[in-house]
Amino acid sequence: MLDQTTDLPGLLKDPSLLATRAYVNGEWITGADGEFEVTNPARGDVIARVADLSRAQIAGAIDGAYLAQKAWAQWTGKERAKVLRKWFDLMMENQDDLGTIMTAEQGKPLAEAKGEIAYGASFIEFFGEEAKRVYGETIPGHARDKRITVLKQPIGVAASITPWNFPNAMITRKAGPALAAGCSFVARPASETPLSALAIAVLAERAGIPAGVFNVVPTSSSSEAGKEFCENPKVRKLTFTGSTEVGRILLRQAADQVMKCSMELGGNAPFIVFDDADLDAAVEGAIACKFRNNGQTCVCANRIYVQSGVYDAFAGKLAAAVKKLKVGDGLEEGTDLGPLITTKAIDKVQEHIRDAREKGATLLLGSEEQELDGQFFGPTIVTGATREMKFATEETFGPLAPLFKFEDVDEVIEMANDTIFGLASYFYAKDLSRVYKVAEALEYGIVGVNTGLISTELAPFGGVKQSGLGREGSHHGIEDYLEMKYVCLSV
């Protein structure tokens, strides 16, 4: 840990964005369960104490959202679009402060945090525009006196549970389509990173989003919030981003109400380098894909497969480039890799390195035990990776790049698909026939071809197999917040 303390208000142009009470039904309220601490993962110091809401208070927020949603759904799509556009504008006007708040509570370098603010805001911008395009249908009737109409109507109250790794964008990727569709929204942010969520609630209020339409209910106990969301009959939609393990818990809990669920869950992304790849581009893509957010993203390359003819060349180029990455405090200029979110995250990276070495892998860069203190862990590359090693089946969620060697396309497709996950995958190749065949053969919701970065509000983001249900982003993203009503009119 760095021994500095964080004067977060002193770092902000607008300290009023640093909100620590919950935002419920247009009011800023304290927590019946007291407060919980938020720490800076780079320095270990407490940066805020945030309202810790009780389950009863969450139920109260749902009550308010239920009433507010009725009126909100009466707004025209154009009226909702206007206020969402204002919310987007305020996010971008306050991008620096929102980024600083995020870096202080999550650790990612300030440039990345500001990038996430723009990425997160883009969902508000995009779905604000989509609010005007929620079209129904008329269908030729099944009899001369019958007329068929299909209406698209908002599903109702949407509840969201999101992770710490993208504490802004994972909320706006849900709130954008939900509010655009005419739903109201109750957000429970991760306990490690509530400040980013509360800051956008300040801006929602300033943008004129009506009381009760957007609510943020921070709690220290995630399970209680999850149970209230799943058991409260006024909630009609649960949208979750996080681990597959927790996704399963929530799906089981939501089953009793047959609740509509969107699940953005864990991943184990293969990153494949074929022998006809542009190796320099592949190295650049691998670094962007592996070390973004210090490897703490569900779409990070978890397994890097390199065809045997270019294995040594790629490994050497990758190590030379990774050596240049600077580990440090995200608030300091020039930092490329911030701290991991918890010491538990460090333990998992070390466990994967130890396991791999015991099973024959070789450390090409970095080490298992590092002189870095606290929650910092340097980028590490191992060669000689095999499918017997833990990172072949488990998500590392840290700065560890295991290099697997393969001989031919059938072998690497089989290895790449040998996982319960199916979120993101990547490969570098030039041969067009190979590109088509591999893109079609990979069992993933997302395939990056000659790129390591796939995140945009314009595309449908989501996984297959045990990486999730539904899609976020693109015009598809609003469908998860709409119900389709068939009206049969006898004339």
Ligand X SMILES: O=C(O)[C@H](O)CS(=O)(=O)O
Ligand Y SMILES: NC(=O)C1=CN([C@@H]2O[C@H](COP(=O)(O)OP(=O)(O)OC[C@H]3O[C@@H](n4cnc5c(N)ncnc54)[C@H](OP(=O)(O)O)[C@@H]3O)[C@@H](O)[C@H]2O)C=CC1
Least CB distance to ligand Y at residue 85 (A):
26
Enumerate residues 94-153 that contact ligand Y by CB under 6 A. none
Residue 473 within binding range of ligand Y, rule CB under 6 A: no
Q: Which of 264, 395, 457, 472 is catalytic?
A: 264
Which residue, chain included where needed, has tokens 């008329």? Answer: 138
Angle between helices 77-93 and 95-106 (to 10 degrees): 70
What does the DSSP assignment read for 132-183? Answer: GG---EEE--SSTTEEEEEEEEE--EEEEE--SSSTTHHHHHHHHHHHHHT-
> How far is 193 from 98, CA to CA, in rounded Å?
12
> How far is 183 from 8, CA to CA, in rounded Å?
34
Which residue stretch of 74-82, 97-105, 296-304, 397-405 sits at the interface with ligand X (rule: CB under 6 A)?
296-304
Residue 408 contacts by C-beta under 8 Å, 6 or more apart in sequence?
Answer: none
Least CB distance to ligand Y at residue 3 (A):
26
Which residue stretch of 3-11, 92-100, 165-173, 268-276 sits at the interface with ligand X (rule: CB under 6 A)?
165-173
Look up 264 and say whether it is catalytic.
Answer: yes
Q: How far is CA 51 from CA 8, 57, 145, 165, 227, in A?
A: 17, 11, 59, 21, 19
Strand partners, 146: 490
Least CB distance to ligand X at residue 251 (A):
19
Residue 195 within binding range of ligand Y, rule CB under 6 A: no
> How far is 482 from 350, CA to CA, in rounded Å?
44
Count, residues near ligand X per rule CB under 6 A: 9
> How far is 102 from 166, CA to CA, in rounded Å?
9
Of positions 120, 242, 338, 379, contacts ligand Y by CB under 6 A: 242
Residue 226 within binding range of ligand Y, rule CB under 6 A: yes
455 binds, among ligand Y, ligand X, none (CB under 5 to 8 A by kind): ligand X
Enumerate residues 424-463 that contact ligand X by CB under 6 A. 455, 461
Enumerate residues 144-183 that contact ligand Y by CB under 6 A. 161-165
249 binds, among ligand X, ligand Y, none (CB under 5 to 8 A by kind): ligand Y
Residue 243 within binding range of ligand Y, rule CB under 6 A: yes
Residue 262 within binding range of ligand Y, rule CB under 6 A: no
Least CB distance to ligand X at residue 194 (A):
16
Residue 297 within binding range of ligand X, rule CB under 6 A: yes
> How far is 267 from 44, CA to CA, in rounded Å?
28
- Is residue 459 classed exposed, middle or buried when 0-12, 13-18 and 19+ CB atoms within 10 A define those classes? middle
Where along the sequence are the contacts to ligand Y (CB under 6 A)? 161-165, 190-192, 222-223, 225-226, 241-243, 246, 249-250, 264-267, 298, 395, 397, 423, 468
Where along the sequence are the contacts to ligand X (CB under 6 A)? 165-166, 169-170, 297-299, 455, 461
What residues are labeled active site? 264
